[in-house]
Amino acid sequence: MKRPWQPLRPSDEMKGTTNMSNLRPVRLCVALAAVGVIAVPATASAAPVITMSGSTSVAPLAALLARGYLKAKPGSVKFKLAQGGSDVGVADVAAGRVSIGLSSRDPKSSDPGGIVFNKVAKDAICIVTNKSNSITSLSSAQIKAIFSGGVRNWSDVAGSSKSGSIDVIVRTAASGTQDAFQKIFMGSSSVAGVASAKSSNGLIQQTVKSNPNAIGYVSMDFIAGTHASQYNGVACDLRNAKSGEYGGVRNFWMVTRGTPKSGGSIAKFIKWTQDDAKAQKITGIHWVPLN
């Protein structure tokens, strides 16, 4: 019996490099004939398969775009998705384990050679607290002080309705969101060593929702059930992210091993995500489209 398509959940992600047998299909499809195959040549019975792994921030958008592409071009391709963090996606595509690596961080000089970062959208990173501690706004200086451990009690944070120790929740080192948070919000300040590191946006969201003393940061698509504070007096919402007024915006990328072959399934899909009006409409629901 066929099961309906479902978006990826935080619990679906994997640590380290991707096990191709664990890639979650966007819809039920024939499994790859061999581990490590990037695309199955189209035949009378099989469509090319595009495999993706990486960022837990980009994954929800990638899943929606894949679903939209299947609707727009039925039967042209099949998709399989996995999560694990931006660094995992970059490493996977560089090694040929997947067709596309999903990254929510910009390219690094330390990245493997021969890979190409294809921008597909922008996203806002929101600073979130428990709903019982709805701080109106946090300045750049306050965020640096809290996340570096310089301020450790909520009674020392202006606007906080709490007292007691601040529980700082961050992402693991492989995360593109962690990389972007460091560059945008922290600058030269380091995150406190006592911070609790989580491997996905969803896990930070769940922790902040359940812990009245917690503070963390997530992709804007994961703020439900938390309180998203203003940053330097500007709300973390889609309108401000699109206008550029909100300062915590970063890029979303689909990373390929070299420039995708013109006319090939990977090139067609990425171009569709970047240029097609239907794709831009999908992106514009929760993220900032390119056009």
Structural domain includes residue 244:
yes
Is residue 104 pLDDT above 60, yes or no? yes
* Lowest mean pLDDT segment, chosen from 43-47, 48-52, 279-283: 43-47
Question: What's the pLDDT score for residue 25?
Answer: 56
Q: What is the pLDDT of residues 229-244, one digit of tens each?
A: 999 999 999 999 999 9
CB atoms within 10 A of CB 134: 14
Structural domain includes residue 39:
yes
Residues 135 and 244 in one domain: yes
Residues 94 and 162 in one domain: no
Domains contained in the chain, number: 2
pLDDT class of 176 with cuts at 50, 70, 90? very high
Residues 134 and 243 in one domain: yes
Structural domain includes residue 43:
yes
Residues 153 and 83 in one domain: no
Residues 115 and 174 in one domain: no
Residues 222 and 209 in one domain: yes
Lookup result for tokens 């097609």: 276
Question: What's the pLDDT score for residue 46?
Answer: 83
Structural domain includes residue 259:
yes
| Domain that residue 58 falls in | 10-122+252-283
Q: Report which secondary-structure segment, H or E, holds 217.
A: strand 214-219
Structural domain includes residue 219:
yes
Rounded Cα–Cα distance for residues 202 and 65 (Å)? 20
Q: What is the pLDDT of residues 88-101, one digit of tens each?
A: 999 999 999 999 99
Residues 98 and 199 in one domain: no
Per-residue DSSP letters for 30-43?
Answer: PPPSSTT---PPP-
Q: Which residue did the predictor score with more confidence, 264 or 6?
A: 264
Output the pTM of the full model.
0.84
Structural domain includes residue 178:
yes
Question: What is the domain-level CATH number for residue 26?
Answer: 3.40.190.10
Give CA 262 to chain center in angstroms: 27
Lookup result for tokens 């750049």: 140
Structural domain includes residue 270:
yes
Q: Are 256 and 270 in contact (CB under 8 A)?
A: yes
Residues 244 and 128 in one domain: yes
Residues 183 and 268 in one domain: no
Structural domain includes residue 288:
no
Q: What is the pLDDT of residues 12-25, one digit of tens each?
A: 333 444 554 455 55
Q: What is the pLDDT of residues 70-91, one digit of tens each?
A: 999 999 999 999 999 999 999 9
* Lowest mean pLDDT segment, chosen from 9-18, 43-52, 149-158: 9-18
Radius of gyration of the chain (CA): 19
